[in-house]
Each structure stands twice: as structure tokens, then as C-alpha cells.
């Protein structure tokens, strides 16, 4: 499961030539001499410093820069990665960086420096650090992109740290960093962070999944080659253009999560291995889907159109799972080149060297703006880290109003969470719900794609305190609690007025 550039950054010793070679291949327009200058600046600043591994400190920012170069980031982000630890760990100042590399790079480095190092040292302090992270992301997403590369390299060198510290850093990566990468649409980074952390947080489970997957991949490898050749031939025959067809292996931690949902039975996982087809246009996506269904019968309920209905993080693709020869089950993912870039790199795709200055779609900006609002209005009230994880870091589902508006909620959310997400008055007066035109209880667990209509009674005096037993979002819980407090206060005032004091 190790991948080429992960192997590359763990080689001994890394040099600036490694970085420049990757950049020359991925970004021919880059100013290699300017990047070399940034490296020499950082190398001089970190001179004499060592990492816990015993290697020169400069290896760490260099490795982070190589990760970003493989992601085809523009040179300003790569230079920022080279310089990101300079103000915090050396006598060189942000003013020095601005003088030598410009205001834009200095501001991103400043954002990373302000972010500091997140550590589990008491819930309140940790939540305050998370607040800083949200502010940093809201101000400039590039700060988080560099932090992801920084964290990914740190995960590859955890062996040099004591076991307790290994566990803390890996757990933090699983519970905080990877979910943020997911919310920003950076599927590739999310998967890399999770797999690198998995072995340290759940070592026994990691070894178990590796053994299961290794055996399964070996059994499927030959058949995938056959399926790929068959699809290529059929697409050419039907004159449906395609850019590439590649096999995709589900990441280890993702396999583990799916196994937990399916009684640890790997036979129930139909997307362990998939063929990904990249085509020129959206029309070609649907034509390819039709061609595949002409070849093989699709599994009922396994056709998912994320092009017409994208995931909350912007992910778009067509998914279908089919019965192949001899009962072999294979998943296909079909997308355009742009969709593929967005699925792999999410918001980071807008800093690819050839996308400089391109506008970030409104949907991508919406969640970042929510982060800014969250840190202003909500996070200072949260004292429970688990509550924060549910609202911000848990897997998300997307559901619809009857008019087709998309509402983004945490996994396992209920109609009450949906109602409060629309408006507190709708939540307060909710009496029931129709989910996909079927009457359901207010405690019903929603799933992605559900269409929900909330039934209200304007005469209702307020929410039930029992709803606190099943609602998931912090916003819904706060609204219910606030209404309960108002009710108690009104009852006390009414009792006070009715008391005969004469």
C-alpha cells in the first residue's frame, strides 16, 4: 500500500535536487532558481538543528515541499513549505522572509506560525487551538494545505518518538486533520493521513486489515486486467472517448471503517477495488455508464449520481457496481478530468501551477465561511470535544428540502437536526417529518439523498426536552436547551406574579 512519493520522502538522504526534479516534471514554468534560493535560505536558518530521527532539520520542510510538488502546487506554496518552520524555530523573522520572498509568502508563513502546534492538553485549551485553526483556514486555505503536508511527513517519521507521543499525533491526525481535509474536498490527502496514522492508533486492527486486503487484492488483480480490457474495447466500439482507465484500491483505514459497519465481513465490501474511468465531458460520463451497463448487470441500489447531486465537499462522479463474469463484483467510478482533479485535491486544485488566479467555486468557499462563523458564534460555548467532532469533523451527509435545496448535516442526523438547520422556528414547532414522502418519526436517522419535509404546528409551545436524546448537531441541542431555559424562567416569573405578597 506504500505509494511512490511516500517512499520517496522516506529515502535517505533527501536533497534539493529531488524537489527540483519533481517540480521540473509537474510545473515546467516554475522558477527553479528562486525555489533553490528559498531552500538555501531555510537550510541556513535551520543550520545545526536536528530532528528526533537524527537527521538535519531541513529534511522536514524539504519533504513537505516534495509532497506539495507532487500535488502540482504552484511555486509560492512550495516555497512556503520550505520556509514554514523558520520563524518559529530559528532567529530569522517574518520581516526577513517578507524582504526576501515577498508579502504573499510571508503572510502564509505567518498564518502557519500563528496556528502553533495543536496538542491534547485539556479540552478547553485544545478547543481554543482548534479555533485558531478555523480562523487560519478561513483567512487563507493555503495555510491548511501546507499544514497537511507538514503533518503527513511527520507521520512517516513517528518511529523516532516515544509510543505515547506517536499515539497522540496519530490520533489527532485521524480525528482532526483528516476530517478537515475531507471537508475541503481533498480526498487524496485525507486518505494518506488516515493510512499513515492508522497503524499507530489501532495497530492490531491495522495488521488484520493489511492481511485481509493483501489476500483480496491478489485474487482480484487478474480479473481487473480483464475487466479493463473489456471496457476499453467496448468504449472504442461505441465511439465513447476516454482519457484513462485506472484501478483504484480502497485505502486501508477506509476499508477498516467499512468492515466495522458490515460485521467485519469483507465479502460485504463491494468497492474494495474499483476501475476509475476519466473522460473528456459530462456527456461522456453518462455514455460510459450506459456502455458498462450494456456489458454487465448493475447491483440494485448501487448506482450513485454524484454529478447531478454532488457531495457536500464538492465531490462529483458517477458510481456503479456490477456483476461481472463468474459473479465477480466490480465498482466503476466515472468522471471528467476536472472532477478527478477536484476529487483528489479539492480546494487545493485551485493552487495548481496552471490554475493560478482561478476562482474558487462558491460551494468550496461556503464551508470555509462557516468555519469563520463557527469560531465567532459557537466554538467558545463548546466544552465537550466530542460535540465539536460531531458538528465539524464527522462524516457528512447531504439531504434535500422539497424545493431541492441541499442541507449538509453530520452522519446519523435526524429530522430535528434538519429542521433547526433551516430555521429555529421550524425546529421549535416541528411535530413530525416526511422522508422521501413517507411519514417518519423525528428520531429517524437520515441518509444522503433523502428528501425531507418537516410537519409543523404553529400552536406548539416549543421543542421537547426528549429530543436531546437523539439530536446530533450542537446547534439543535443549543436551541432546545435555550428554549427549556426560557420556559423555566417564564414559569418562575409566572409563579412570582401569582404569589400573594399583600
Give this prediction's pTM. Answer: 0.76
**Tens digit of each residue's pLDDT (9 = 90 or more) over 377-406:** 544 444 444 555 545 556 677 788 888 777
CA separation for the pair 159, 177 (Å, rounded): 20
Torsion of Cα atoms, 458 then 460 then 461 then 464, to 10°: -130
Q: Write down the pLDDT at residue 501.
A: 47
**Tens digit of each residue's pLDDT (9 = 90 or more) over 87-132:** 988 899 999 999 999 999 999 998 888 776 555 454 455 555 666 6
**Catalytic residue, candidates 89, 205, 234, 305:** 89
Judge whether 88 counts as a catalytic residue.
yes
Q: Write down the pLDDT at residue 123.
A: 47
Count CA atoms closer than 13 A to 383's CA, side-chain side.
1
Sorted by where each starts, the structural domains of the chain and their CATH numbers stand as 4-201 (1.10.3210.10), 204-347 (3.30.460.10), 395-498 (3.10.20.30)
The C-alpha cell at 181 is 481535509
Angle, helices 103-115 vs 141-156, to 10°: value is 60
**Catalytic residue, candidates 3, 40, 47, 88:** 88
Residue 151's H or E segment, with its range, is: helix 141-156
Judge whether 89 counts as a catalytic residue.
yes
Q: What burial class does residue 77 get, using C-beta atoms within 10 Å of its C-beta: 0-12 exposed, 13-18 middle, 19+ buried?
A: buried
Question: Shortest CA distance to 85 belongs to which of 67, 73, 97, 74?
Answer: 97
- Degrees, nearest 5: CA angle 340-316-246: 35
**Tens digit of each residue's pLDDT (9 = 90 or more) over 310-327:** 887 778 999 999 998 877
Residue 165's H or E segment, with its range, is: helix 163-172
Amino acid at each position: 500500500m506504500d505509494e511512490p512519493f511516500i517512499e520517496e520522502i522516506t529515502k535517505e538522504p533527501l536533497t534539493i535536487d529531488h524537489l527540483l526534479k519533481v517540480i521540473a516534471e509537474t510545473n515546467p514554468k516554475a522558477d527553479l532558481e528562486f525555489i533553490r534560493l528559498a531552500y538555501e535560505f531555510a537550510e541556513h536558518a535551520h543550520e545545526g538543528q536536528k530532528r528526533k530521527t537524527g537527521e538535519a532539520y531541513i529534511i522536514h520542510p524539504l519533504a513537505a515541499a516534495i509532497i506539495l510538488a507532487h500535488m502540482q502546487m504552484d511555486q509560492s506554496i512550495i516555497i512556503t513549505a520550505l520556509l514554514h518552520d523558520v520563524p518559529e524555530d530559528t532567529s530569522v523573522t517574518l520581516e526577513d522572509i517578507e524582504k526576501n520572498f515577498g508579502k504573499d509568502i510571508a503572510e502564509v508563513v505567518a498564518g502557519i506560525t500563528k496556528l502553533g502546534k495543536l496538542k491534547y492538553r485539556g479540552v478547553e485549551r485544545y478547543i481554543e487551538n482548534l479555533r485558531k485553526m478555523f480562523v487560519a483556514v478561513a483567512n487563507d486555505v493555503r495555510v491548511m494545505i501546507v499544514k497537511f503536508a507538514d503533518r503527513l511527513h511527520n507521520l512517516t517519521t513517528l518511529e523516532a518518538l516515544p509510543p505515547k507521543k506517536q499515539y497522540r499525533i496519530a490520533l489527532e491526525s485521524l480525528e482532526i486533520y483528516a476530517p478537515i481535509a475531507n471537508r475541503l474536498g481533498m480526498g487524496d490527502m485525507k486518505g494518506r493521513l488516515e493510512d499513515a496514522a492508522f497503524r499507530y492508533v489501532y495497530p492490531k486492527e491495522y495488521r488484520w486489515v493489511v492481511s485481509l486486503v493483501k489476500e483480496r487484492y491478489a485474487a482480484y488483480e487478474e480479473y481487473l486486467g480483464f475487466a479493463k480490457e473489456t471496457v476499453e474495447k467496448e468504449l472504442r466500439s461505441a465511439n465513447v472517448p476516454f482519457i484513462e482507465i485506472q484501478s483504484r484500491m480502497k485505502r486501508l483505514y477506509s476499508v477498516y471503517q467499512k468492515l466495522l459497519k458490515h460485521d467485519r465481513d469483507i465479502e460485504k465490501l463491494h468497492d474494495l477495488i474499483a476501475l476509475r474511468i476519466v473522460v473528456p465531458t459530462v456527456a461522456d460520463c453518462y455514455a460510459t455508464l450506459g456502455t458498462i451497463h450494456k456489458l454487465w448487470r448493475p447491483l440494485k441500489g448501487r448506482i450513485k449520481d454524484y454529478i447531478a447531486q454532488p457531495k457536500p465537499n464538492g465531490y462529483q462522479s458517477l458510481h456503479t457496481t456490477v456483476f461481472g463474469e463468474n459473479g465477480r463484483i466490480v465498482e466503476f467510478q466515472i468522471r471528467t478530468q476536472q472532477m478527478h482533479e477536484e476529487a483528489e485535491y479539492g480546494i487545493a486544485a485551485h493552487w495548481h501551477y496552471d490554475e493560478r488566479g482561478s476562482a474558487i467555486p462558491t460551494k468550496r468557499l461556503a464551508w470555509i465561511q462557516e468555519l469563520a462563523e463557527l469560531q465567532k458564534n459557537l466554538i467558545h460555548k463548546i466544552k465537550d470535544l466530542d460535540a465539536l467532532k460531531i458538528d465539524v469533523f464527522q462524516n457528512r451527509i447531504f439531504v434535500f428540502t422539497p424545493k431541492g435545496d441541499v442541507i449538509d448535516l453530520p452522519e446519523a442526523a435526524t429530522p430535528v437536526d434538519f429542521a433547526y438547520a433551516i430555521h429555529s422556528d421550524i425546529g421549535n414547532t416541528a411535530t413530525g417529518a416526511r422522508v422521501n414522502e413517507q411519514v417518519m418519526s423525528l428520531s429517524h436517522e437520515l441518509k444522503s439523498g433523502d428528501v425531507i419535509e418537516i410537519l409543523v404546528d404553529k400552536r406548539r409551545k416549543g421543542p421537547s426536552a426528549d429530543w436531546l436524546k437523539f439530536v446530533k448537531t450542537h446547534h439543535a441541542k443549543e436551541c432546545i436547551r435555550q428554549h427549556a431555559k426560557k420556559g423555566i424562567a417564564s414559569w418562575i416569573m409566572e409563579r412570582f406574579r401569582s404569589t400573594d405578597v399583600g
